[in-house]
A and B are shown apart, each in its own frame.
Chain A
Amino acid sequence: MILVPQLGLFFWSSVIFLIFFFILRKFAWKPIIAMLKEREESISQSLQQAEKAREEMAKLQADNEKLLNEARHEREKMLKEAAQARDEMITKARTEAATAAAKEMEKAKVQIESEKMAALITVKNEAGMIALEIAEKVLRRELAAGAEKEVLAKKLVAELNNN
């Protein structure tokens, strides 16, 4: 009895099961499965995005590091260059100043020399003029007194030498 299937119950079990299967499929399983799928997709997508963001972050960080390094490098280079330029400028200024000074000196020397020469020439001229004057005076005295003329001449020459 327990092992004999009954047609009525068999029929009703099949029918009821199928009815509830269709109801559940439409109102429960399909929405649930769709939602589960949607959520899983969104989770995997989020994870992917997070991974991507992390990668990008790492890349940005690397870029930053690189930029910073470059900047540091640049600064060092600039400082170096500035120091060099300063040194150069200083030495250049120095040499320029030195050459300028030397030039001035040379100029001064030349001027001094020329002044000296001019002075000498004037002195010579003066001396010449004085000699001429003396000679004139001597000549005039000779004409006046012969004896005195020698003494006078010697006196004049001594005067001249003193000058």
Chain B
Amino acid sequence: MIKKVLLLAAACVLSLCIMRATPPEGEEGEKFNASEVILHHILDSHDWHITDIPAGKENGKTQYTPIALHLPWILYSSRDGLKFYGSTHALEADGKFGLDHHGSVYAKKIGATHAPTTETAHDSTHTTTEAHHVEDMDESVSVLDFSITKTALQIILVGLIMVLVFTSVARGYVRNRGKAPSGLQSFFELIIIFVRDFSKEYLGDKHEKFLPYQLTLFFFIWFSNLLGLTPLNSNIAGNISVTAALAVLSFILINVNGSKDYWKHIFAAPGVPKPMLVLLTPVELLGIFTKPFALAIRLFANIVAGHFMVLSLISLIFLLGDNGRNVAGASGGAVLGIAFAIVIFCLEMLVAVVQAYIFTLLTTVFISMAVESHDDHHHETHKVLDTEVNRDLRLSDFNAH
């Protein structure tokens, strides 16, 4: 137990290090902007920023050398077609595209590229650059950003971890054929069987068809959340694009497997008078989309909220410490912030698995509602769904407090 607490403390201290890694850009003594730092940590980026090391002073300003892994830009624009850049610097040096203060890419007017100033181009707080950006933007050109960002890279990492872990588990089954499971296999067997059991409970004989998806979903969300809690890694499921992607995949799976009764229930609910259908059908149709929408928002909000809390608590150190000038405040903030951060961190470990469970379970419930072909089971499922959703909402509330 003590060992675990120490480990958590170490993790928190490490995450503190990452905090320091992004000093508020600008002069020393500038106010520490907690919300900006937190947002920077939560949002996706085009490089994997590890830390900044001080590289001496220049004109009274501490210069930092960033240590970061540059990730490639892949852009498609109506003007230039597909474009590849090795890093953000390369993109800015090329002069065809610029970045706005959100870090989003836009196409520059070709004529306005005579003086690309790389120094100020990524200085997001500078007001003159912003005005400059708006000026040189070519609004007739739409740019699609298909870059492999930090989050995309992390998704690949999670996928690789999953392949490594579960092929090893599968090998364990071959090795221990006819024998008791051992090692990694015996740990994951519990969870795999847990997922399979609730899948079986809702889908009955049809569960085998959906089980691979459910297992992938569950472990992907869980592993992503856990990875997101470790230092240097981004919160994958705390990114709306990722949860939206998962929700869309679930949405496709649900509706592709919709039975005749499922569609009948939407367009011509049995036992409902014909005129009422005019009202009911749009509501039911909306329901098809609100379900995955809720899935995406729930997962995103829960994970992002946890990260917000941990980062805010860590930010206390810098806020109370007046950004390095008040040592007493900083130590007080450190004690307070780390103590609370550890509690939240533990809670987040729980939320990591609970959210994976909820996402998978609700997907299962929606699939079971879509697949079902007997009306008499319908009410039962609705009832079960209601209790599940209530439980989920309670958990979300708990998390939000």
Contact = CB atoms under 8 A, between A and B. Distances in A.
Contact of A36 (B144, B192, B220, B249): B192
Residue from A13, A27, A29, A35 having most chain B Cβ neighbours under 10 A: A13
Interface in B195-253: 196, 208, 211-213, 215-216, 220, 239-242, 244-246, 248-249
A10 B167 CA distance: 27
Residue picked from B147, B178, B208, B216, most chain A C-beta under 10 Å:
B216
Nearest to A31: B170
A83 B55 CA distance: 121
B241 A1 contact: no
A24 interface: yes
A147 interface: no
B43 A2 contact: yes
A32 B246 contact: no
A59 interface: no
Contacts of B239: 9
B169 interface: yes
A19 interface: yes
Contact of A12 (B152, B162, B178, B249): B152
Interface residues of B, number: 48
Contact of A2 (B155, B163, B193, B304): B304
A21 B212 contact: yes
Interface string B3-44: 000000000000000000000000000000000000100111
B245 A33 contact: no
A17 to B, nearest CB: 7
B268 interface: no
B156 A29 contact: no
Interface string A77-95: 0000000000000000000
Interface residues of A, number: 34
Contacts of B43: 1-2
B104 to A, nearest CB: 8
A7 B155 contact: no
B215 A10 contact: no
A8 B163 contact: no
A8 B216 contact: no
Contacts of A5: 240-241, 244
A125 B169 CA distance: 136
A161 interface: no
A4 B208 CA distance: 35
Contacts of A2: 39, 42-43, 240, 304
Given A5-B240, A28-B170, A20 B245 contact: no
Interface of A: 1-14, 16-21, 23-25, 27-33, 35-36, 39, 42
